Structure 1
Amino acid sequence: MSNTDLIIPQRSRDIGDFLVGRFIPFIHKKMVGPFSFIDHMGPVDVKPDRPFDVDQHPHCGLSTLTYLLDGEIMHRDSIGTVQRIKQGSVNWMTAGKGVTHTERSPDDLRGKSYKMNGFQIWVALPKELEEMEPSFHHIPAEDLPTWEDGGASFKLIAGEGFGKISPVPVHSELFMMEISTTEDYLLEINGQLKGEIGILIETGSITACGNTVDAGNMLISKTDDACNLQIVGGSRIMLFGGPPFPERRYIDWNFVSSSKEKLEEAVERWNNREFPEVPGDSTYVPHPKNKS
């Protein structure tokens, strides 16, 4: 199967009250550039009696990127960060050697109804940075590069592309951007992005290489052989990717590493409660293999 012909349908799974569409990892394509995992949260209506609550859980060997299209989340982590993420802003947490965090409905939204829609993304770290100290950065929506072209609006969420640079402090060459259209728009990708390209259709549809791809699907291509995209008016798509790492990456639950041994060590550390904890939070999400 050639990369230009690889179209990945959204596969749904349940996490409590939320339906999540997972795009990668996929059996035919484990990563796109350094991106190792993408979950689509929603769209869903959060109910007054069922707030959004993700208890304390760990990460290592990666950076998490949270980007909301609708709704708000309160983030807390073992570094001591307390940060509310709103629509259009970016939470960028680098786990490095190990971090834990929680994600919950903000206190003032608990007991209320509101819409939640967004993306949870993992970006693998370069091999030499997998054991770096954890860090956290929040970038407000107004600090991200935005521009208009014809009937399309662009936002560069992370990395570099189309001659722009995002302030998100990434650790490798990559790009992630949002494109929304009010009318049909021809997107010319060649020469604008570096590395592998993932094209995720959130709403609407696109036409690429003579094929129409609808919302809920992801198409993968490469810069040097990418077709131009015809984006239907009223669509919203996400482009992401970058040059792949020279080494393979392995995934076990919330951990990513170039070493299977390090993954095993991370699982053992979490099972033994040796990860740092979120201040004031005693919740604990067990490794899936340890759930009764």
Structure 2
Amino acid sequence: MLDDFVEQMLTPVTHDLGGFKVHRTLPHKARTMVGPFLFFDQMGPAHLEVGGGIDVRPHPHINLSTVTYLFDGAILHRDSLGTEARIAPGAVNLMTAGRGIVHSERSPGDERAAGPMLSGIQTWLAMPETVEEIDPAFEHVAAARLPVIEAPGVRARVIMGSLWGATAPTTTHAGTIYADIALEPGASVPIDAAADERAVYLAMGEATLEGVPLEPRRLYVLRPGIAATLRSVRGGRAMLCGGDAFATPRHVWWNFVSSRRERIVEAKRAWAASEFPKVPGDEKEWIDIPDVPNTVSYP
């Protein structure tokens, strides 16, 4: 039975952003974090109109790291550090907000000309209290630098942390595991019990966990200490995420995350007062602070 090895199954809230959908399984009313992961969004898959694309205007973050990972398409990232970085499938964009950063995400011009594809996962990771206010930073890790574990019918890319005897070079601020697992028909892969908290997410295709079918776009939080086998009969793509459990909660309001409510209040004031830095090359637009955010806020 699923309950023997799954602690919770989290169903997504789906947002239609005009041309593509985002399926959000974290945060959830039943659970706010899995290890350091506190947002888990699947973007697409979608084929956008010719000449169109995504245009996420400049907006701020504090006290978190964002991790962007694509299956298809490309995104151009710009931030207030002066970074301009294009991400392609299999690579990682890691942005550490620390004491504060502003960024934008847009479809590159060459992608727009053909009608952009968009498919991927974007997550937010909480930061330990001791490093929440570090200097902001950006890190791009090319696909070729991320370890890939291959076995018959299996190709698993380690995005963050250590799994299956391999370690990704991606910076982590807390114990973190994160991997992209592609299974051909009939293939299987072990999910070990090493991390405090772990979850499996079926992004596309078909898979079972210990013989129990998984539903797409659900986050299956595994029971601590339980090893399991992920298997696919017809082929599938799954994400494994988790890491060290956080002893203290994180407060979330709009794009702001912190261990302290008063820090979020200050960030709201600073963004409304235009005190955050601008994004070079993308200074003309921004997202105004909402009266009521359309993201989940807690506690």
TM range, normalised to the smaller chain? over 0.9
Q: How far 1:148 sits from its partner (Å)? A: 1.0
TM-score by length of 2: 0.92
Q: How far 1:175 sits from its partner (Å)? A: 0.8
Q: Which structure 1 residue ranges, 5 or more long, are not aligned?
A: none
User: 1:63-74 to 2 correspondence within 5 Å?
Assistant: 63-74=65-76
Question: Aligned partners of 1:252, 1:2: CA distance in 2, in Å?
Answer: 35
Question: Quick one: which amino acid aligns to residue 168 of structure 1?
Answer: T
User: 1:129-278 to 2 correspondence within 5 Å?
Assistant: 129-191=131-193, 193-209=194-210, 211-278=212-279
* CA deviation map 1:66-106 (0-9, x unaligned): 10100011110000001111111110110001000011111
Percent sequence identity over aligned pairs: 37
Contact 2:205–2:235 (CA under 8 A) maintained in structure 1: yes
Question: Aligned partners of 2:144, 2:109: CA distance in 1, in Å?
Answer: 24
Contact 1:204–1:232 (CA under 8 A) maintained in structure 2: no
TM-score by length of 1: 0.94
Question: Quick one: which amino acid aligns to residue 49 of structure 2?
Answer: K
Contact 1:256–1:263 (CA under 8 A) maintained in structure 2: yes
Q: How far 1:195 sits from its partner (Å)? A: 1.9
Q: How far 1:169 sits from its partner (Å)? A: 1.1
Q: How far 1:213 sits from its partner (Å)? A: 1.2
Contact 1:186–1:230 (CA under 8 A) maintained in structure 2: yes
Instruction: Tell me the SS of whatever aligns to 1:175.
Output: strand
Question: Aligned partners of 2:267, 2:97: CA distance in 1, in Å?
Answer: 12
Partner of 1:86: 88
Question: Aligned partners of 1:230, 1:112: CA distance in 2, in Å?
Answer: 36
Q: How far 1:210 sits from its partner (Å)? A: 5.0
Question: Aligned partners of 2:131, 2:4: CA distance in 1, in Å?
Answer: 31
Q: How far 1:245 sits from its partner (Å)? A: 1.3
Question: Quick one: which amino acid aligns to residue 105 of structure 1?
Answer: S
Count of matched residue pairs: 290
Question: Aligned partners of 2:292, 2:31: CA distance in 1, in Å?
Answer: 28
Partner of 1:282: 284
Cα RMSD after superposing both structures:
1.8
Partner of 2:60: 58
Q: How far 1:258 sits from its partner (Å)? A: 0.6
* CA deviation map 1:167-213 (0-9, x unaligned): 1111111011011111223332234x422111010112332355311
Question: Aligned partners of 1:29, 1:232: CA distance in 2, in Å?
Answer: 30
Q: How far 1:218 sits from its partner (Å)? A: 1.5
Change (3 A) 1:259 1:49: same
Question: Quick one: which amino acid aligns to residue 103 of structure 2?
Answer: H
Partner of 2:297: none
Question: Aligned partners of 1:232, 1:36: CA distance in 2, in Å?
Answer: 31
Partner of 1:127: 129
Instruction: Tell me the SS of whatever aligns to 1:110.
Output: helix
Contact 1:204–1:214 (CA under 8 A) maintained in structure 2: no
Q: How far 1:10 sits from its partner (Å)? A: 2.7
Change (3 A) 1:62 1:3: farther
Q: Which structure 2 residue ranges, 5 or more long, are not aligned?
A: 294-299
Q: How far 1:57 sits from its partner (Å)? A: 0.5
Quick check: 226-235 or 169-178, which moved more? Answer: 226-235
After the TM superposition, list the runs of 4 or more consecutive aligned residues in structure 1 that deviate by more than 6 angstroms: none
